[in-house]
Amino acid sequence: MLEVQDLHVTFTTYGGTVKAVRGVDLYVNEGETLAIVGESGCGKSVTSNAIMRLIPSPPGKITRGMIRFKGEDLVSLSEKAMRNIRGVDISMIFQDPMTALNPTLTIGTQLMEGLYEHQKVTGQEAKRRALEMMDLVGIPNPEERLKQYPHQFSGGMRQRIVIAIALICEPELLIADEPTTALDVTIQAQILELFEKIQKQTGVSIILITHDLGVVAKIADRIAVMYAGKIVEVGTKREIFYQPEHPYTKGLLRSVPRLDLKGGKLAAIEGTPPDLFSPPEGCPFAARCAYAMEVCTHVHPVKTSLSPSHQVDCWLQDERAKKLLATSSPK
Amino acid sequence: MLRYILKRLAIMLVTLWIIITLTFILMVSVPGSPFNSESSSNEIVQANLNKHYNLDQPKYIQYLEYIKSIATFDFGPSISKPHQSVNDLLGRGFPISFELGIISIAVAVLSGIILGIIAALRHNGIIDYLAMGLAVLGISIPNFILATLLIQQLAVNWEIFPVATWSSPAHMVLPVFALATGPMAIIARLTRSTMLEVLTQDYIKMARAKGLSPWKIIIKHALRNALMPVITIMGTLVAGVLTGSFVIEKIFAIPGMGKYFVESINHRDYPVIMGTTVFYSVFLIVMLFLVDIAYGILDPRIKFHKKGGD
Ligand SMILES: Nc1ncnc2c1ncn2[C@@H]1O[C@H](COP(=O)(O)OP(=O)(O)OP(=O)(O)O)[C@@H](O)[C@H]1O
Ligand SMILES: [Mg+2]
């Protein structure tokens, strides 16, 4: 349903040009949840904003690539045409529910304005839809709550409202950028359950951005691992959790705290991500990779398919490297 | 809400009382008397006059007399303008001053906000720099200098507008311009900076993600939040326009209250000083009150009364 190919986004700043997204390929099938994981600053938010065409410009710009949604390339769409896609076909949920709602407008107004903007609805019809949505996301006393202002709701309740706002025009794709990061753990679990319930009821596809692998394990169908503006490994949840091949993915998985392994420190990945002002020529992870070879620092790895759904950008998966490793033991 | 208003009214009365008292103290401690300037140096005449206007009484009696006159809204006769009561002067002067003040404030607020929005939307563009450059000029040139420059250039040299007085819309242009420019510049700068800040907020991004049109986002989501700080300074601006109007009325020979106010001080016309001061004070206090109410209406987070927890 959504297919992103070779997406490049840059930001022009006083310090130079930041290459925040450097050739992202991904696709989302109908009714599935794709999780994008990766450490802070790797370009997850920029990728999702690019799909919505909400990159602040200037300084940001989509310099290359294609975002195909239902047969149309969103990159070349006019701003006006894009407005009819935002909120209608693709919706977005933001990280911080405390700031995502306008403090001066009632919940009802903010909930219904998308409907009024995109569909010819009567006041009655809009209200009926709003109450339905409040019910769907689990807000008690919806009739009364519609007249209230954001400051009268708790963080978890606000995130439910944000979700209701995103869903009111029945979009086909929902992009959730760290929807639970700002919430405490019990509320997080409730919101994740809400996502599952909504997906079951409406069949909406979800792109879930997070750096919490626990969240991913719970609700993702497929996982894309992002590093320094690129997707370095993508696969089904099983493939990523049980047969990770990219050293970065393995590192990520090892750095999750576990209850079953007693003692021992958390295995953090040593080093820091590369500078996106001047990303390295070769594999961006080479400098931090325990298995890095000569080729890794000079040439960017080609994509290797391990299965129809599992792709990885790593020289270790190249046939030649495998042959080499088989004949000589690694240093 | 009602309790809040009653409380505010009480505070307003106390404020007014303090103003009256201070004005009285200042008034009697400034040397001179209403009759010094006149040539009628006849001692008996002066004594009679003093008696007629209660000026021979001890100060505290005079003070109580003033309080009484204010409480009954009857400020008595003017001293320097015989046969005219202070109420007559106020009745004649106020509509004109009010017109000048309201038009100036309206012009300042409207053009200031529009200028600020345009500057914010064209952030770091030529229009932005131009608007903000003008705003700096507007803030730094005092209104009496601007007024004289305007008269010199537009009225005397080019003869586009009349030089002075207040008798037709054309007469209003220069004084309003002179009075409104400063506040307009302040509002424009403030609107621009708050607008720029508001535009980076998450709820603006959220509004964009809903697919709303740019205008709807600006008017409905951004402007209302951006105007909050502007409303906060409205009280100060109204006070500024008010004091500015004394000078402007004098320069343009506008027969408003400001003219009587300034003259009354020069002539030590005590009843007129008291009357105009009270009138100006009441006006300003009420304006500040309205600003607070408006603020509460715009920002739902502000409660006028405590009603349970959140
Ligand atoms: N407006 C901007 N101007 C300049 N650089 C930007 C801008 N927005 C993002 N970037 C850069 O793009 C890179 C990717 O940022 P992005 O917000 O996508 O990271 P992220 O993966 O979402 O991280 P996080 O997990 O912290 O949200 C960062 O290095 C950041 O410096
Ligand atoms: Mg982010």
* A269-273 contacts at long range (C-beta below 8 A, 24 or more positions apart): A273/A39, A273/A41, A273/A42, A273/A227, A273/A228
B186 CA to centre of ligand 1 in angstroms: 35
Contact between A301 and A230 under an 8 Å Cβ cutoff? The reply is no
Ligand 1 pocket member A33 (CB < 6 A): no
CA distance A218 to B258: 74
**CA gyration radius for chain B?**
24
Question: Quick one: DSSP state of residue B63?
Answer: H
Q: Report which protein residue has its CA nearest ligand 1's atom 9.
A: A46
Ligand 1 pocket member A248 (CB < 6 A): no
User: Residue B88, exposed/middle/buried by CB under 10 A (0-12, 13-18, 19+)?
Assistant: middle
pLDDT band of B161, cuts 50, 70, 90: confident
- Edge-first strand order for the sheet with A2-13 is A16-28, A2-13, A60-69, A72-73
In a domain, B183, yes or no: yes
Check if B301 contacts A (Cβ < 8 Å): yes
Give the SS3 label for residue A222: strand
Segment holding A60, helix H or strand E? strand A60-69
Check if A170 contacts B (Cβ < 8 Å): no
In a domain, B207, yes or no: yes
Residue A331: predicted pLDDT? 47
Concatenating the DSSP letter of every residue in A3-21 gives EEEEEEEEEEETTEEEEEE
Q: Which domain holds residue B114?
A: 93-255
Rounded to an integer, the average pLDDT of B124-151 is 89
Nearest to B211 among A83, A104, A106 (CB): A83
CA distance B234 to B123: 25
Tracing tokens 């509460």 back to the chain, one arrives at B296
Neighbours of A61 (CB within 10 A): 16
Closest atom, ligand 1, to C-alpha of A229: 14
A300: closest CA of chain B, how far (Å)? 35
Question: Quick one: DSSP state of residue A290?
Answer: T
Cα distances (angstroms) measured from residue A313 to each of A8, A245, A249, A286: 17, 9, 11, 12
Average pLDDT of chain B to the nearest whole number: 85
Ligand 1 pocket member A57 (CB < 6 A): no
Query: Any idea what the CATH number is for the domain that residue B173 is in?
Result: 1.10.3720.10
The rounded percent of chain A whose pLDDT value lies above 90 is: 43
Pocket perturbation via mutation, ligand 1, pick of A11, A210, A211, A213 by most ligand atoms within 8 A of CB: A11
CA distance B23 to B298: 35
Total count of residues recorded for chain B: 310
CA distance B302 to B291: 13
- In chain A, the residue whose alpha carbon lies closest to the alpha carbon of B124 is A58
What token pair was written down for A218? Answer: 């719970």
In a domain, B52, yes or no: no
In a domain, B190, yes or no: yes
The number of folded domains in chain B is 1
In a domain, B25, yes or no: no
pLDDT in tens, A140-196: 999 999 999 999 999 889 999 999 999 999 899 999 998 888 888 888 888 888 889
Q: What is the dihedral of CA B270, B274, B276, B282, to 10 degrees?
A: 180
Q: Which residues pair with A82 in a beta bridge?
A: none
Contact between B168 and B94 under an 8 Å Cβ cutoff? The reply is no
Check if B219 contacts A (Cβ < 8 Å): no
A91 half-sphere exposure, CB direction, 13 A CA radius: 23
pLDDT in tens, A200-230: 999 999 999 988 888 888 889 999 999 989 9
B224: closest CA of chain A, how far (Å)? 8
pLDDT in tens, A78-127: 989 999 999 999 999 988 888 999 999 999 999 999 999 998 888 899 99
pLDDT at B73 over 90: no
In a domain, B271, yes or no: no
Residue A101: predicted pLDDT? 94
Complex ipTM, two decimals? 0.85
pLDDT in tens, A231-279: 999 999 999 999 888 888 988 888 777 666 555 566 677 778 887 787 7
Ligand 1 pocket member A230 (CB < 6 A): no
Ligand 1 pocket member A211 (CB < 6 A): yes
Contact between B178 and B146 under an 8 Å Cβ cutoff? The reply is yes
Residue A259: predicted pLDDT? 64
Domain A2-89+171-326, second-level architecture: 3-Layer(aba) Sandwich (3.40)
Residue B40: predicted pLDDT? 53
Ligand 1 pocket member A85 (CB < 6 A): no
For chain A, the domains span 2-89+171-326
CA distance A304 to B92: 90
Contact between A156 and A183 under an 8 Å Cβ cutoff? The reply is yes
What token pair was written down for B113? Answer: 């906000």
Cβ contact (<8 Å) for A94 and B201?
Answer: no
In a domain, B100, yes or no: yes
Closest atom, ligand 1, to C-alpha of A39: 25
